[in-house]
């Protein structure tokens, strides 16, 4: 049965908004960007290190530790390619990036590569990777002799 247009059963309700008036009510609750998955981070990092897309830069800390601990970018690449991600996607508000730690064995010695992917750059078209540090899992943190 169709409603009769003469029957008007509508009731008007008066409502009053009691929330904030500064516009924060429309903001997302969490302003942190979602971290890329470990597999996406690995793919992006390897693409950057292979020169396929984007670029990387070394932090000052990385340059100091690379010399003292005797590792290089090739060790970082090996850890990313062959290692397991033990920390993935932790967001840093100060640097606006996601940190990843990859662990593997190189020549029988444990090694951890620490890098970050910028949250302000497009991960597919032009990612920015920051090399943070590397550390050998020895008592001193330095590389033992290879042979």
The b-or-e profile of 111-133 (16+ CB within 10 A means b, else e) is bbbbbbbbbebebeeebbbbbbb
Taking the C-alpha atoms of residue 109 and residue 96, their distance in angstroms, rounded to an integer, is 32
Taking the C-alpha atoms of residue 17 and residue 32, their distance in angstroms, rounded to an integer, is 28
What is the helix (H) or strand (E) element at residue 39, kind and residue range?
Answer: helix 38-49
Taking the C-alpha atoms of residue 138 and residue 147, their distance in angstroms, rounded to an integer, is 16
Are the CB atoms for 102 and 80 separated by under 8 Å? yes
Q: Tell me what the pLDDT averaged over the chain comes to.
A: 88
Both tokens of 107, joined, read 């020549």
- pLDDT tens sequence across 26-58: 666 667 899 999 999 999 999 999 999 999 999
Q: Lowest mean pLDDT: which of 3-12, 91-100, 117-126?
A: 3-12
23 pLDDT exceeds 80?
A: no
Both tokens of 109, joined, read 């010695």
Taking the C-alpha atoms of residue 76 and residue 46, their distance in angstroms, rounded to an integer, is 10
Q: Which pLDDT score is estimated for 16? A: 73
The DSSP secondary-structure symbol of 3 reads: P
78 pLDDT exceeds 90?
A: yes
104 pLDDT exceeds 50?
A: yes
Find tokens 């540090």 and name the residue.
133
Q: Which pLDDT score is estimated for 31? A: 76
Burial class of residue 41 in the structure, from the number of CB atoms within 10 Å of its CB (0-12 exposed, 13-18 middle, 19+ buried): buried
Report pTM.
Answer: 0.77
């Amino acid at each position: 049965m169709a409603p009769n247009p003469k029957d008007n059963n509508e009731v008007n309700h008066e409502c009053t908004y009691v929330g904030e008036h500064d516009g924060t009510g429309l903001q997302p609750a969490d302003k942190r960007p979602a971290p890329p998955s470990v597999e996406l981070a690995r793919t992006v990092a390897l693409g950057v290190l292979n020169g396929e897309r984007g670029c990387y830069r070394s932090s000052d800390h990385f340059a100091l530790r690379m010399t003292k601990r005797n590792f290089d970018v090739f060790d970082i690449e090996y850890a990313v390619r062959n290692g397991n991600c033990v920390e993935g996607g932790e967001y840093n508000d100060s640097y606006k990036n996601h940190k990843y730690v990859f662990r593997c064995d190189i020549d029988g010695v444990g090694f951890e590569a620490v890098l970050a992917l910028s949250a302000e750059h497009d991960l597919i078209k032009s990612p920015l990777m920051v090399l943070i540090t590397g550390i050998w899992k020895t008592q001193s943190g330095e590389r033992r002799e290879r042979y």
